[in-house]
Amino acid sequence: MLTIKKIGPAAVPHDAEQVMIPMRDGVRLAADVYLADAADPDGARPNAVVLVRLPYDKNGVYCFMPVVSRYFLARGYHVVVQDVRGKYRSEGAAEFGLHETDDGHDTIQWITEQPWCDGDVVMWGDSYYGYTTIAAAISGHPALKAISPRVTGSQLSMVLEHGDGTRDVEQTARKFYFASHYVDADRYEWEPDWSRRPLRATFEQFFTQLGKRSPNFDGEFTGESRFVPPPLKALLESPPVPALYTIGWFDNCAVWSWHDVRALSQNPAWADRLYLRLEAIDHENYWLGEAPVAPHDDHSGDPAALERMLPRYLDPAVEFFDAVLGRSGELAALPRVRYEVCHGEWQESDTWPPRQASDLEYHLSPDLRLTGEPPEGGLLQWTHNPSDLVPPVGANPFATLYDRSDLSSAGQREDVLRFTGPATGEDVDLAGTATLLLRLTAPAGAHVHARLLDMAPDGGAFLVAKGQLRLDVPLTGEEAVVDLQSIAYRLRAGHRLALDVMSSDFPDYVAECPDGADPWSSLPGEPVTRWITLGGSRPSCLRIGRWQPEQLRRTR
């Protein structure tokens, strides 16, 4: 029997008034209204409003919205925090991604009609409630003056295709999310048995034991799912608003953040309004400087740790909103990019990658080294065993910094190729995009996972960045491009850069299966071997700097 815990809505706090806001189809969404001048007997004066729309309970402990709201209140903003459609106290069906554009528009319209709103609305949020800020921007409501989405993107949870015969490997998190957050109005906490096969079996056990199913989950297996966000094109074609994107160097959702940022940066209207904040955090906002997390730094359960986190968490948005609304400073005076160098300092730039980034190439050699010069040639192989998958970087893909796992043992596996560079004589800062080019021989359906590592003098190996791809076409010595997103990392004196190449990263990503088969319904197959060609005119190499992955890909 699975242990299943149902989490319903918490109590509305004493300093908020819950209202039911009608949408265009008559469905009403529950929202808490916090007024900055509620103690004034004459009522709150008109002021700008911070809107947050989330599916995780506007009153719950997990997202601590009452604490966030009071922080914005203390800085002169009214705040509206809303349960999205179908969740907790809101009416309607729980349907991922379907209504957020229209519901965001209608909520903003309702806010502007209130006497305590001066006509300006800004939106802030993480993950799905960061996605709702983007969806509201797509709606084009003129009162939305700025958005500050964190650790999210317009295509949140979707498998991205790269246009060159490759795509991302599917994260297991989307379907698990549907079987925990999008069954009904409440949340269900449970642990899948990832050892079961087929992979879907543990979810079927959950639904049978619960006595109900998730239409969102079932929609994943009936062809084209309805439960998807609008395409990125919808954002690019919407009226641009100032946007502050916060991306975590260790966030498993950063792939969707960078997907947006790269496209917006190439769009003249949006590029002029795009600001970036790049932090050494994971999806749950744990910080590298405190990793692994000690009990006194765990903001999920320690109020004091939460209070310490709030300035780092919220001040960038307050500064940004104040500048956009003309409350203090000017938007043009803010740096376009602020980025934290892991194990280093904060830096500023007018672009990303920064202009001072050095374009570095590390070539893969037959003796498993990262070298400055390409080898004359060679061939390397690894054998992927579907019955013995490479474990993930941590216990929770959303909180990789919580335990900050040592990955040294992975390099000892026969199904992992670990390439190691020389020890540095002094601190070296690596900044820019990180891209792995592999001349690969593998069939359609094959997976490639790559991890960039920091190897300490004592042999410990810790994650810097990772990327993955699935082949839609077979390759015979042709080039495949693995996007490891971007990094800003200080390789300290005596440390080495290392690179792992393998075919699994489970259970964070689905296991490989034959081309055309469903990874959720497949049983493990036989071991298979893959080859990397080294040397030649276009050698297999790791590039860090100003190269963009889309410029390196060739359309097949």
Q: What is the pLDDT along the chain (556 residues), one digit of tens a residue?
A: 999 999 999 999 999 999 999 999 999 999 999 999 865 555 678 999 999 999 999 999 999 999 999 999 999 999 999 999 999 999 999 999 999 999 999 999 999 999 999 999 999 999 999 999 999 999 999 999 999 999 999 999 999 999 999 999 999 999 999 999 999 999 999 999 999 999 999 999 999 999 999 999 999 999 889 999 999 999 999 999 999 999 999 999 999 999 999 999 999 999 999 999 999 999 999 999 999 998 777 887 788 889 999 999 999 999 999 999 999 989 999 999 999 999 999 999 999 999 988 899 999 999 999 999 999 999 999 999 999 999 999 999 999 999 999 999 999 999 999 999 999 999 999 999 999 999 999 999 999 999 999 999 999 999 999 999 999 999 999 999 999 999 999 999 999 999 999 999 999 999 999 999 999 999 999 999 999 999 888 899 999 999 888 777 765 5
Query: Would you call 337 helix, strand, or coil by DSSP?
Result: strand
- Strands lying side by side in the sheet with 496-502: 166-167, 461-471, 447-455, 496-502, 417-420
Q: At what angle do helices 127-139 and 100-112 cross, to 10 degrees?
A: 70
Tokens of 314: 């919220």
The rounded distance, in Å, linking the Cα atoms of 200 and 517 is 13
What are the structural domains of the chain? 5-159+227-247 (3.40.50.1820), 360-552 (2.60.120.260)
Q: What is the residue-wise DSSP string for 239-282?
A: PP--EEEEEETT-TTHHHHHHHHHHHHTSHHHHTTEEEEEESB-
Half-sphere exposure of 183 (CA within 13 A, CB side): 21
Residues 6 or more apart whose Cβ sits within 8 Å of residue 518? 221
Distance CA 553, CA 347 (A): 30
* Confidence (pTM): 0.97
- CA distances 360 to 37, 370, 432, 434, 542, Å, are 55, 12, 10, 10, 8
CA nearest to 306, candidates 293, 322, 319:
293
Structure tokens at 422: 């020389």
